[in-house]
Each structure stands twice: as C-alpha cells, then as structure tokens.
Amino acid sequence: MTEPQGSFSAPPQVVTFDGLLSDFDGTIVDSTDAIVKHWHKIGAELGVDPKVILATSHGRRSIDTLALYDTTKANWEYVSYIEGCIPKEYGSDAVEIPGARSLLSALDEAGARWGVVTSGTRALLEGWLGVMNLTHPDMLVVAEDVELGKPDPRCYLLGRAKLGLEHSSSLVVLEDAPSGIRAGKAAGFKVLALATTHTLAQLQEAGADWIVEDLRSVSVKAVADGQIQLEIRNAFQ
C-alpha cells in the first residue's frame, strides 16, 4: 500500500457537532511500550510468540485476542485483572498524545457532550486516567459494555445513547486505528483520525474524514446551544 502524496497543511476548518466520542489508546495516551511489555509477558504464559499477538491486538479487545489462543482465559475476570495491572506495572512507559490533555480539559470546562469509547477494560482506563492525572470523562463505554468490539459499530452507538443523543447523527469520533475508524463510520458518524499508530494509507482506506498528526491540531472553539464547535488545523491534504 503506497503512502498518499500530500502534507499536513490544510487551512483551519471549524465544524459543529452535537457530541464527541474518543477512542483512548493511541488517541489520548500512547501506551505502546507498556502494551508490548504486557503482551510479551502474556505471550510467555500462553506459549505464543508475542509478535504474533501484537500483529493483530491494537484496537482489539483483549478478550477477543485471548480467545484466539486460550479460550479459558477469555473471560472478564481474567481480562480485567491483567489489564488492571498494566498501569500499575508499566505506568512510566506511557505518554499522553500531544494536545490530548488540553483538549479533554477544554471539552470538560465548556460543558460539551463527550466521552471515551475504548476497547480496553474499565480497570485499564481508570488506571491510566489515574496514573496520568487526565480529565475523567463522565461518559465511558468500555470493553465489557458491548458484545462485539470494533470494527462493530455498537460501541459508538452505545456512546451516543449514553450522551442522550440517540436521534442525532451529528457526532465526531476521534480514532487512531482502522478498526475504530470503521466502527465510527459504520455508526454513521464523522471520523477524525490521528496518524499516531498507523500509516496514512491505512487511515484513508478505513474511511477517515480528516487525518491530523495529533491532537495539537484540534481545539474547542465554543460550545453553543449544546453543540461543540471544533477547529481542525493542518489536516492532511
């Protein structure tokens, strides 16, 4: 797959939405180093090459990944336990995605309707928010909340319902992984993709409406009549 020609140089654009739903890992925090160490540890326990696991694990629920190798471990009690250990054991291996802290604070302070929709468990998400001292969203959809993970759209549809926006299609999804982009598009929403973990070609093929380098290119202009006005700068063109 050849990389598209262009640059992150599109002029600023202000777009309005009823709500915003954000993925977490790769979008708000980069815990790649921690996750790699985690799957090396689990791979050793399972007798599976961690490289094989890591090739398909990003953006996918751990319960779905484990089901491929050991169905006895594909249960929420075990998954919550091992994911809850990640921020405790490897907390220093994660960094925030540039611009994430200020965007979350701005959404919260403006009273925007927003939340996090993640393939991680509640234990993992709560752990990272605590370790990294990030704004805690009021609305969460976690791995345990849906029967099927991304690219199935029901996680984002549940997020919309939890925001009280069941009848709106005017939502934007922030994502970094093709599976998540496909989930957001299948839900009928606009998707703003971050080029933090995947190639431009992969993000375009998945159907992203905008692609930016990171969240420094996204800011809250205002929240008026309940609607979020987002400014997107330096998108790929």
Active site residues: 23, 25
Positive or negative: CA dihedral 113, 100, 208, 60: negative
Token pair for residue 16?
């309005």
3-state secondary structure (DSSP) of residue 228: strand
Is 153 in contact with 187 (CB distance < 8 Å)? yes
Distance CA 53, CA 24 (A): 20
Give the phi and the psi of residue 74 in degrees, each rounded to 5.
Answer: -85, 65
What does the CA dihedral 29, 103, 108, 226 come to, rounded to 10 degrees?
-130
CA atoms within 13 A on the CB side of 223: 13
Q: In a 10 Å sphere around its CB, with 0-12 CB exposed, 13-18 middle and 19+ buried, how is residue 45 labelled?
A: exposed
